[in-house]
Amino acid sequence: MKSGSRVWAIGLCCSAVLVFLLTFVGPKGASTELRTLPARSVEAGLSEARPEDLHPRGGWLSASHSSQLLLQHEAPPRKKLLAVVGVQTGFTTNHGDDRYNYEARRKVLRSTWFPANQSALDRFEASTKILLTFVLGHSEDQQAEEGVQLESEDHGGFMRLPVQEAYLSLTNKTLLFLKQTISTYEAEFIVKVDDDVLLRLDRLPAAISQWTQRGSDYIGCMKNGEIYTSDKYRWYEPQHQLLGGGQYFTHAWGPVYVLSWRIAREVSQLNPNSLRFFNNEDVTVGGWMLALNGRHDDERRLCEPICTDTSIAVYDYPRCAGLCEPVKQMQGLWNSTACQLPALSGSDQTLPQTPPFYKFQHQKLK
């Protein structure tokens, strides 16, 4: 009896050591995975983008994989970051119309909250561990590509994705952005923000520590609007029959939302052909978050219509999915006293929180 249990104990002990070795030593020793390098540099242009960022319709155009390079055994050290902020932008389709002039949007961002050039970006990243980049696919318009190439040489800060920019391919662009980010960096959160939103970058570190404490995976202003079942409407959902009619499941507004590294990695590891795509990017991402059991966090500070001492993202919520006229509005808004309020407030120098509309089961609310 006694020696029997001794043998047992030794066996148990050995398996524990084995499990330990396999878990902590094995995988890290062998970094032989295939990696995808970013195509972060210069290519680029001006072309069509998503006029109303939130609501693309339909199929995507073929992705060119020429800008991706597969390397084996040669992974450069990954940057350890707090967050990667991808500012989704497009190609200018009409220089005469501010609404479609994405070059002008980027210009005004560079004179407001987005660091103006590569050295400013590098300095910002070094001091905050927040990496900022514009995120842009490609255009068939050679002139447009050349325009962006020049802009990128002058200012830096572009992540180029192997996707044709189009109104219809936003969800695939988001997916590629996540994949590229996950394969290149290491961070705690990924912020997806459109180029017509004012972002208080100086509040991001405090917000991130709050989101970490709450254990959130999917952070944004949650909604569950009407499902459009008629193709007369722009936001028509052809797969409405699958959704049970009425309203959508709860998902975040598209102009800005935040994903934990964990959940973004899970999404990016899935075979895209196994993912359900709905017509709209925001709805589709919300569907993935449900399927992957992400922890939703209704963060109303990400959709404040005016600057306040709590706002992290500001746009014309709920009138427009961004600032209604970003090129005209951004600089004046940024200059305003309210938008220049200090990052933190009160004698305890914290970032005040706001009550959510939706309280999710898992959420620890203070």
Ligand X SMILES: *[C@@H]1O[C@H](CO)[C@@H](O)[C@H](O)[C@H]1NC(C)=O
Applying CB under 6 A, does 59 fall inside the site for ligand X? yes
What is the closest distance, in whole angstroms, from the C-beta atom of residue 79 to ligand X in the complex? Answer: 21
Applying CB under 6 A, does 246 fall inside the site for ligand X? no
- Is the Cβ of residue 171 or residue 184 nearer to ligand X in the bound state? 171
Site string for ligand X, 137-156 (x = CB under 6 A): --------------------
Do residues 264 and 182 touch, judged by C-beta distance below 8 A?
yes
- Is the Cβ of residue 62 or residue 72 nearer to ligand X in the bound state? 62
- Is the Cβ of residue 124 or residue 358 nearer to ligand X in the bound state? 124
Binding segment for ligand X among 96-104, 116-124, 145-153, 292-300 (CB under 6 A)? 116-124
Applying CB under 6 A, does 120 fall inside the site for ligand X? yes
What is the closest distance, in whole angstroms, from the C-beta atom of residue 279 to ligand X in the complex? Answer: 8
CA distance 298 to 100: 30
Applying CB under 6 A, does 119 fall inside the site for ligand X? yes
Amino acid type, 280: N
Q: Which of 3, 32, 127, 273 binds ligand X (CB under 6 A)?
A: 273
Print burial letters for 40-73: b (CB count within 10 Å at least 16), e (below 16).
Answer: beebbbbbbbbeebbbbbeebeebeeebbeeeee
Residue nearest to ligand X (CB): 60
What is the closest distance, in whole angstroms, from the C-beta atom of residue 277 to ligand X in the complex? Answer: 5
- Is the Cβ of residue 116 or residue 320 nearer to ligand X in the bound state? 116
Applying CB under 6 A, does 172 fall inside the site for ligand X? yes
Q: Which of 269, 335, 345, 349 binds ligand X (CB under 6 A)?
A: 335
Applying CB under 6 A, does 238 fall inside the site for ligand X? no
- Is the Cβ of residue 172 or residue 250 nearer to ligand X in the bound state? 172
Applying CB under 6 A, does 202 fall inside the site for ligand X? no
What is the closest distance, in whole angstroms, from the C-beta atom of residue 118 to ligand X in the complex? Answer: 8
Applying CB under 6 A, does 60 fall inside the site for ligand X? yes
Secondary structure, 3-state, the chain: CHHHHHHHHHHHHHHHHHHHHHHHHHHHHCCCCEEEECECCCCCCCCCCCCCCCCCCCCCCCCCHHHCEEEECCCCCCEECCEEEEEECCCCCCCCCHHHCHHHHHHHHHCCCCCCCHHHHHHHHHHHCEEEEEEEEECCCHHHHHHHHHHHHHHCCEEEEEEECCCCCHHHHHHHHHHHHHHHEECCEEEEEECCCEECHHHHHHHHHHHHHHCCCEEEEEECCECECCCCCCCECCCHHHHCCCECCCEEEEEEEEEEHHHHHHHHHCCHHHCCCCCCHHHHHHHHHHHCCCCEEECHHHCECCCCCCCCEECCCCCCCCCCCHHHHHHHHHHCCHHHCCCCECCCCECCCCCCCCCCCCCCCC
What is the closest distance, in whole angstroms, from the C-beta atom of residue 170 to ligand X in the complex? Answer: 8
What is the closest distance, in whole angstroms, from the C-beta atom of residue 274 to ligand X in the complex? Answer: 9
Applying CB under 6 A, does 268 fall inside the site for ligand X? no
- Is the Cβ of residue 164 or residue 250 nearer to ligand X in the bound state? 164
Task: State how far the alpha carbon of 173 is from the alpha carbons of 161, 162, 192, 209, in Å.
Answer: 7, 9, 11, 28
What is the closest distance, in whole angstroms, from the C-beta atom of residue 188 to ligand X in the complex? Answer: 26
Q: Which of 27, 238, 332, 352 binds ligand X (CB under 6 A)?
A: 332
Binding segment for ligand X among 166-174, 194-202, 244-252, 308-316 (CB under 6 A)? 166-174
Q: Which of 11, 272, 318, 352 binds ligand X (CB under 6 A)?
A: 272
Given the rule CB under 6 A, which residues bind ligand X?
A: 59-60, 116-117, 119-120, 168-169, 171-172, 272-273, 277, 331-332, 335
